């Protein structure tokens, strides 16, 4: 991991999972009605969608920057740690919100949401825990601080 060349799964997969979970959240909120109105009309659901979209956009940009800097031959350790932490945690939140919007249906095996939830949680364990990555990031930042 110190080479800054983490497995591509660790940064790209959470973004893809979150993107699809957000799409499913939006689609379902348009068709599911409660008390005569679609879920999409509810402010709480709109906030979940907005938060998910903002977080997803920010993480996607982090992945692009990390790839761009890698292609330029730059040392991407610091950015790689940040990107991995942010993407894995963002995907967990987005999938969790999507499950919330889907209600009980979100936990059924007929939808991929429950599987994605387990997969994203697994990434946060097997691809380097956020705590260890934060520790390594802080060490790198402190070591290279110019001040």
- Max CA-CA distance within the chain? 60
Report the 10 Å Cβ neighbour count for 124.
Answer: 20
Which residues make beta-bridge pairs with 38? 33
CA-wise closest residue to 87 among 50, 62, 112, 68: 62
| Residue 127 is among the residues annotated as catalytic for this protein | yes
Catalytic residue selected from 65, 74, 114, 127 = 127
Q: How far apart are CA 120 and CA 102, in angstroms?
A: 18
Annotated catalytic residues are 127
């Amino acid at each position: 991991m110190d080479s800054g060349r983490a497995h591509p799964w660790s940064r790209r997969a959470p973004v893809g999972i979150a993107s699809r979970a957000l799409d499913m959240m939006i689609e379902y909120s348009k068709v599911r009605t409660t008390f005569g109105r679609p879920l999409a009309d509810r402010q709480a659901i709109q906030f979940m969608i907005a938060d998910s979209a903002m977080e997803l956009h920010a993480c996607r940009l982090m992945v692009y920057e990390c790839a761009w800097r890698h292609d330029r031959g730059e040392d991407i350790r610091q950015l790689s740690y940040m990107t991995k932490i942010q993407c894995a945690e963002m995907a967990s939140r987005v999938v969790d919100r999507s499950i919330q919007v889907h209600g009980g249906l979100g936990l059924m095996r007929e939808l991929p949401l429950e599987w994605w939830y387990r997969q994203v949680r697994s990434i946060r364990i097997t691809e380097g825990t956020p705590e260890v990555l934060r520790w390594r990031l802080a060490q790198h930042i402190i070591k290279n601080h110019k001040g």
